[in-house]
């Protein structure tokens, strides 16, 4: 569908249209099903919100917004706009008005921040959709038809999850085709699941989950799969610096049926303008922050006194913010919580300020485990990243090192963590067991003696895959080769002498 419709629009850019229209269909059907169920349970078996007049629907606007966070007139539902799209010469203007009305329905309510700007990237008047209004409308008709034809089930049959699955699948495909520009905002599903499972080992529920570099939100939403729909009691929290991706994350929450009062995704720079001071601490934190990006660091004199960074006595380098995210996460982690962070491998062994931060983490016994991941898992990079697991209430003074570099299956042009690969890593992590060539429990004292290097390869011996050679057998073989060489040389000399005599 995306390939057929995008025309001159780049694949990664066109995602805004496909995912935005998918979201429009979702909230339309979600609202209609909710109202239909209520009315039918109240004694109106034939009630159909889509067939109601706008005037009749207006009477319930206030209560609907209070419950669902938004309101859509019957005439502006996806199904009704689609039905008249083919003959609507002003389709672009109609859709623009519908999107503004949906966002406007939340103005002045508790859900305003969660709905504001959700359709900003779905520009129905962009020349990228076509050089004329007629051509743009033709593309929009095709888009409505394509989204409308997707077999996403009936809300009444509890198949709502398929919307979220479709969204995640599309995000993965777009990130794959877009390379770095797409992968920067998307963590592969199997990595997301591994991180989530690490943070909830031994638990059936958590109070709040948080991601300071939330991207498209896939990491947070894995808790639904891992713990079930009621496994996160108080909500999902995150912050994203990129506006487009911030919108995608909020859409992702809605498409996974996380209602507005259950999530709080903020826009802004987590390191310098954190948005959730009033919500921390968090029992589970998962994150895949951008690797080695620049930040203000010691150029901002206020940051060294920031309670998130001050305990280490030093700030992460201006050119590498990786451990600034780590310190922020540690600061906001609950005493009984666990954080799992995907890190660029350089943070494990680089010197300078980063070594001082590692020293603080190790000396205060905050590092629970370091897990080496296989290479080529992520979009846009082939490096083998790692996971640092943090805890504030450990039961020992050691760090578990796990070498999962070989735990993958090649799938297409990327490596994948299968269920078996994840299970092997998780079992070793949960049991804190030592397995030859795979995992080792190392005391903080030994790490200190090793100059606070926490690279997995420094502690877990790799399997020696070199072929064992029997030197006596090899020498005997060489002797045979030398003897055979002498025989051949004698034969060649005789042939040459014979040829010379003939001449």
Contacts (Cβ under 8 Å, ≥6 apart) of 87: none
The answer to whether residues 110 and 227 belong to one domain is: no
The answer to whether residues 133 and 218 belong to one domain is: no
The answer to whether residues 235 and 121 belong to one domain is: no
pLDDT at position 13: 67
Task: With a cut of 90, say whether residue 307 has pLDDT above it.
Answer: yes
Domain termination residue (choose one: 107, 128, 159): 159
The answer to whether residues 237 and 109 belong to one domain is: no
Average pLDDT over residues 409-420: 88
The domain spanning residue 257 has which CATH number?
Answer: 3.40.50.150
pLDDT at position 358: 97
pLDDT at position 259: 87
Higher pLDDT, 187 or 457: 457
The answer to whether residues 230 and 128 belong to one domain is: no
Band the pLDDT of 224: cuts 50, 70, 90.
Answer: confident
Task: With a cut of 60, say whether residue 160 has pLDDT above it.
Answer: no
The answer to whether residues 91 and 195 belong to one domain is: no
Band the pLDDT of 243: cuts 50, 70, 90.
Answer: confident
Longest dimension (CA), the chain: 118
pLDDT at position 466: 65
Q: Does some domain include residue 503? A: no
The answer to whether residues 63 and 149 belong to one domain is: yes
The answer to whether residues 139 and 39 belong to one domain is: yes
Task: With a cut of 90, say whether residue 11 has pLDDT above it.
Answer: no
**DSSP letter, residue 107:** T
Question: What percent of the chain stands above pLDDT 90?
Answer: 63
Band the pLDDT of 182: cuts 50, 70, 90.
Answer: very low
Q: Does some domain include residue 296? A: yes
Residue range of the domain that includes 123:
2-159
Band the pLDDT of 6: cuts 50, 70, 90.
Answer: low
Residue pLDDT, tens place only, 451-462:
999 999 999 988
pLDDT at position 130: 83
SS (H, E, C) 449-471: HCCCCCCHHHCCCCCCCCCCCCH
The answer to whether residues 256 and 339 belong to one domain is: yes
| Pairing, β 367-372 against β 282-287 | unpaired
The answer to whether residues 124 and 210 belong to one domain is: no
The answer to whether residues 193 and 127 belong to one domain is: no
Distance CA 57, CA 77 (A): 12
369: part of which helix (H) or strand (E)? strand 367-372
Higher pLDDT, 334 or 175: 334
Main-chain phi, psi angles of 396, to 5 degrees: -140, 175
Task: With a cut of 70, say whether residue 197 has pLDDT above it.
Answer: yes
DSSP per residue, 135-160: HHHHHHHHHHHHHHHS----GGGT-T
Q: Does some domain include residue 314? A: yes
- The number of distinct structural domains making up the chain is 2
At 16, list the tokens. Answer: 């805004």
Q: Does some domain include residue 483? A: no
Q: Does some domain include residue 342? A: yes
DSSP per residue, 337-353: EEEEEEE-GGGGT--TH
Band the pLDDT of 163: cuts 50, 70, 90.
Answer: confident
Q: Which residues of 292-328 are buried (b: 16+ CB within 10 A; e: fewer)?
A: bbebbbeeeeebeebebbeebebbbbeebbbbbbbbb
CB 196 within 8 A of CB 426: no
CB 341 within 8 A of CB 325: yes
Task: With a cut of 60, say whether residue 153 has pLDDT above it.
Answer: yes
Residue pLDDT, tens place only, 375-400:
988 876 788 899 999 999 999 999 99
At 252, list the tokens. Answer: 């992702």
pLDDT at position 448: 97
Q: Does some domain include residue 169? A: no
Average pLDDT over residues 320-348: 96
Task: With a cut of 80, say whether residue 245 has pLDDT above it.
Answer: yes
Task: With a cut of 70, say whether residue 185 has pLDDT above it.
Answer: no
The domain spanning residue 134 has which CATH number?
Answer: 1.20.1260.30
Question: What percent of the chain stands above pLDDT 70?
Answer: 92
The mean pLDDT value of the chain amounts to 89
The answer to whether residues 251 and 123 belong to one domain is: no
Count of other CB atoms within 10 angstroms of residue 372: 23
* The dihedral formed by the CA atoms of 382, 416, 232 and 248, expressed in degrees to the nearest 10: 60
Domain termination residue (choose one: 95, 125, 159): 159
pLDDT at position 360: 98
Distance CA 210, CA 237 (A): 5
Residue pLDDT, tens place only, 85-123:
999 999 999 999 999 999 999 999 999 999 999 998 888
pLDDT at position 156: 53
* The dihedral formed by the CA atoms of 446, 447, 448 and 453, expressed in degrees to the nearest 10: 150
Average pLDDT over residues 193-202: 95
Average pLDDT over residues 21-44: 92
CB 238 within 8 A of CB 217: yes
267: part of which helix (H) or strand (E)? strand 263-267
Q: Does some domain include residue 48? A: yes
Task: With a cut of 50, say whether residue 351 has pLDDT above it.
Answer: yes
Higher pLDDT, 495 or 94: 94
CB-count burial class (<10 Å; 0-12, 13-18, 19+) for 17: buried
pLDDT at position 169: 79
Q: Does some domain include residue 298? A: yes
């Amino acid at each position: 569908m995306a390939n057929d419709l995008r025309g001159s629009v780049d694949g990664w850019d066109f995602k805004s249209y496909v995912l935005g229209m998918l979201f429009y269909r979702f909230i339309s059907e979600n609202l209609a099903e909710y109202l239909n169920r209520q009315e039918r349970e109240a004694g109106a078996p034939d009630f159909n919100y889509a067939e109601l007049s706008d005037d009749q629907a207006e009477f319930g606007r206030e209560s609907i917004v209070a419950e669902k966070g938004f309101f859509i007139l019957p005439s502006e539902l996806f199904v009704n706009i689609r039905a008249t799209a083919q003959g609507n010469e002003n389709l672009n203007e109609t859709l623009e008005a519908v999107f503004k009305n949906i966002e406007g329905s939340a103005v002045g309510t508790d859900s305003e921040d969660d709905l504001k700007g959700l359709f900003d990237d779905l520009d129905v008047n962009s020349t990228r959709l076509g050089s004329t209004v007629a051509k743009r409308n033709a593309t929009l008709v095709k888009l409505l038809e394509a989204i409308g034809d997707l077999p996403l089930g009936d809300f009444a049959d509890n198949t709502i999850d398929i919307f979220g699955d479709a969204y995640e699948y599309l995000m993965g495909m777009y990130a794959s085709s877009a390379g770095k520009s797409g992968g920067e905002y998307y963590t592969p599903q199997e990595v997301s699941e591994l991180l989530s499972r690490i943070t909830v080992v031994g638990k059936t529920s958590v109070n709040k989950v948080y991601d300071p570099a939330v991207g498209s939100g896939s990491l947070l939403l894995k808790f639904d799969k891992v713990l079930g729909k009621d496994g996160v009691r108080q909500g999902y929290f995150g912050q994203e610096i990129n506006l487009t991706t911030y919108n995608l994350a909020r859409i992702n929450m809605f498409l996974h049926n996380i209602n507005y009062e259950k999530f709080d995704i903020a826009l802004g720079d987590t390191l310098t303008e954190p948005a959730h001071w009033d919500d921390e601490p968090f029992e589970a934190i998962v994150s895949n922050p951008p690797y080695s990006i620049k930040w203000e660091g010691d150029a901002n004199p206020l940051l060294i006194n920031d309670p998130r960074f001050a305990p280490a006595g030093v700030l992460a380098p201006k050119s590498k913010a990786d451990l600034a995210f780590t310190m922020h996460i540690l600061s906001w982690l609950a005493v009984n919580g666990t954080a799992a962070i995907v890190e660029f491998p350089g943070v494990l062994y680089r010197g300078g300020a980063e070594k001082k931060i590692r020293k603080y983490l190790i000396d205060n016994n905050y590092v629970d485990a370091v897990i080496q991941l296989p290479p080529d898992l992520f979009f846009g990079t082939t490096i083998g990243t790692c996971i640092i697991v943090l805890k504030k209430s450990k039961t020992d003074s050691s760090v578990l090192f796990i070498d999962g570099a070989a735990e993958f299956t090649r799938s297409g042009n990327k490596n994948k963590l299968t269920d078996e690969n994840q299970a092997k890593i998780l079992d070793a992590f949960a049991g804190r067991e030592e397995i030859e060539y795979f995992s080792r429990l190392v005391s903080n004292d030994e790490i200190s003696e090793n100059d606070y290097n926490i690279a997995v390869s420094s502690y877990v011996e790799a399997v020696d895959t070199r072929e064992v050679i029997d030197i006596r057998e090899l020498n005997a073989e060489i002797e045979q080769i030398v003897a055979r060489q002498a025989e051949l040389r004698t034969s060649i000399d005789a042939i040459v002498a014979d040829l010379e005599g003939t001449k």
